[in-house]
Chains A and B, each alone.
Chain A
Amino acid sequence: MQTAKSQTFKDKTSKVMGINKEDALLTKSYIFVAFMALLLGGILGLVQGLNRAGLLELPSWVNYYQVLTAHGLILVVVLTAFFTIGYFYAGLSHTLGGLLPIVRKMAWIGFGLKIVGFVLAVIPIIMGDASVMYTFYPPMAAAPMFYIGLALIVVGVWMCAFGAFINVANWRKNHKGQHVPILAFFATGVFVLLFFGSLPVAIEVIVMIIPWSFGWVKTINVMVARTLFWAFGHTLVNIWYLTAVSAWYVIVPKIIGGKRWSDTLTRVVIIALVIMNITGGFHHQIVDPGISPSVKFMHVFMSLAIGFPSLMTAWAMFAIFERTARKQGGKGLIGWYKKMPWKDVRFLAPMIAMIAFIPAGAGGIAQSTNQLDQVVHNTMWIVGHFHLTLGMSVVMTFFGISYWLVPYISKRVLTPQINKLGVIQTWIWTVGMIFMSGSMHWVGLLGSPRRTSFTTYGDNATALSWSPYLMFLAVGGTLLIIGVILQVYAVINMMFFAPKGETEFPIAEVEENAAKTPYWTERWGLWIVIMLLVVAMAYVIPLTEFIVNAPPGSPPFKTW
């Protein structure tokens, strides 16, 4: 552990010299894996989209559900986990004056565990033994190796989470009474959620599924497994979202030449999201049996409560935009928006991501309402929803981050050409996602089911009426793969070929006359206990019911 003195010296050097080599290599490796996953997952997505539209017949040795599982796992787990960890570790390194050697080691061990886990999970998918889709709901059962791989990925993530906690705790010891820098505060929130959110899924996989898939126990309690999965699944969704939000609050204001609006509000939003998040899993189970209507009704409140910090975020972001634009001479009720740097990809991509979150969030609120969800729950609408949230709000923010983060860690610069390419990529991605996600939403309303490969149900008239929308889906998917290729090209260029130079890590300052942030925001121990209490309250009713009044349980099924 460093002393306070050397820490401040390190602070200064890292501000002047940029990121140190070892920390840069760590983030570079994480980001490289993330974008390779994007390429691979994107290609699989295209194959799947074309097949789903009835345009492409898959060869006999590939199954639609196999592609679906791989596409989901690679993008939902690998891309997001590697990007989030790479980005926040660069943020910790920058704002806390470098990573501690032990923390760096933990992050590398985590990296190795996740890669090994990923390979172990992918082998059975390729062999056709794990086409269980990324939610791996029992009683569908994959080969045990698939679950062992997933468990290793979770352990790898835990290594990174504890690494982050150690680094933050060390910084706090050396900076008594100070607030943790805002990006590190976001990182703390995200890693708290990553750890506590992945506990339920670890219990599901290690205690329930692995013994069952080996055949050591004969049956599994399906409802308990699903509930534990969604306690994790929903948290994971919000981890991506919180990662994107960190860039909106901290990075975007700097890029547009403004200041951060309210430090207290930002920290309260993070704490609120951390406390209320895990219980949101229930709105994914709104049509599941075994949970009484009154409990589901109560959970609507919990889900809508999570929407509240998002509304605070929307408000804060527009406040920042308008204040900055007006300072730069923007006029009129909405005319100020012209002053925003629309030609800068570092702004454009996250801005479109934020705008996309307006319909995405509204759709989410519709889905957490029981009656509305019953119309769309098992349809393509849901697929459209998470392509709008993850594929636009989150991933476009990640893309926007890459245009300064990759040059920063590679000690290179963002050239005007790559910026232009980025702008073109952003628009292609936007149009592609509007087509794809839009048609998914619409065809879902018309009844087209999700988790189902292409079929016309014996040329049934209703099923045939879906085809034009599915064609739009294929068009959107094709545009998106062009977007993926441009994006991966840009990342590789910025990582290895762009001209050498210094790129700034853009962190916005707080406004000059800002009120002091109260110190209670730093009491993470207390927030975690409250979070656990909320989780305990929320889960005790259905879990007791599922376990005490359990059905006989289900043997494993291979449905493909």
Chain B
Amino acid sequence: MKQTIYGLLLLLFLALPPVANLMESVMIIHMHMQMPMLIFTGFLIARIFQLRFPHSFDKWNSNGIPGIILFVIIVVYWTLPRSMDEALNEQSMEIFKFVSLPLLAGIPLRDSWKRIGTVGKNLIIILFTILFIGMGWLYIDSPVQLCNNYLVIEQITLGWGFVTTAICLVIYLVYTTFTDPSKYE
């Protein structure tokens, strides 16, 4: 219950116009900080839904796959330059961002993450590693502005943000592949 309140407070904080404006003024902070934080608020808010409606989650998301697919679709949608641009131009899209990322990405992620097992988790991380390398390449290499609202330099920065995040994911995958926790734990 406490978690849900913290999640709602964080969501409220992120939605405050000065905070939202500051975060959206830098392209990479918009995509790599504001959006993950919105997902994180959903992650926290999910607690109350898990407590109140355990059966519907068990029924619809028993193996975690529907939830994780919903999460992937929403997240992939928000990595598109077009969707980010629209969030800045249209009030309704901005609202959709603040609703979809917590509710349709954060909550399913929390519920699915434990259900999909180690293989599922690693597959998701591999998927995002490939996606991030691809998006990084797109944003770094594109000769033109992909978003009307951001300069090319910001786009390149975001591209490198994707690539460095992908590198971290690769390091994590290498670490989990080559270390055997049963030797230590």
Contacts and interface: CB of A to CB of B under 8 A. Distances in A.
Whether chain B is bound by chain A comes out as: yes
Interface of A: 169, 172-173, 176-177, 292, 294-295, 297-298, 519, 522, 525-526, 529, 532-533, 536-537, 540-541, 543-545, 548-549
Contacts of B184: 169, 172-173, 176, 522
B40 interface: no
Contact of A540 (B25, B153, B160, B176): B160
Nearest to A526: B172
Contact of B25 (A294, A519, A522): A294
A544 B156 contact: yes
Given A176-B185, A295-B26, A519-B185, A532 B32 contact: no
A396 B62 CA distance: 59
Given A525-B179, A544-B157, A549-B153, A297 B22 contact: yes
Contacts of A533: 165, 168
Interface of B: 22, 25-26, 28-29, 32-33, 153, 156-157, 160-161, 164-165, 167-168, 171-172, 175-176, 179, 183-185
Nearest to B185: A177
B30 to A, nearest CB: 12
A532 B33 CA distance: 15
22 contacts: A173-B183, A176-B183, A176-B184, A298-B29, A519-B185, A525-B172, A532-B167, A532-B171, A536-B164, A536-B165, A536-B168, A537-B164, A540-B28, A540-B157, A540-B160, A540-B164, A541-B26, A541-B28, A541-B29, A543-B160, A544-B156, A548-B156
Of the candidates A295, A519, A536, A545, the one having the most CB atoms from chain B within 10 angstroms of its own CB is A536
Contacts of B22: 294, 297
Contact of A525 (B164, B167, B175): B175
Contacts of A522: 184-185
B158 to A, nearest CB: 8
B104 to A, nearest CB: 24
Contacts of A525: 172, 175-176, 179
B33 to A, nearest CB: 7
A544 B185 CA distance: 41
Contacts of B32: 537
Contacts of A298: 29
Contact of B161 (A519, A529, A532, A537): A537
A537 B167 CA distance: 12
Contacts of B29: 298, 541
Which A-B residue pairs are the 6 nearest by beta carbons? A536-B164, A544-B157, A525-B175, A172-B184, A529-B172, A540-B161
Given A522-B185, A543-B160, A548-B156, 8 more contacts: A169-B184, A172-B184, A294-B26, A525-B172, A525-B175, A526-B172, A541-B29, A544-B156
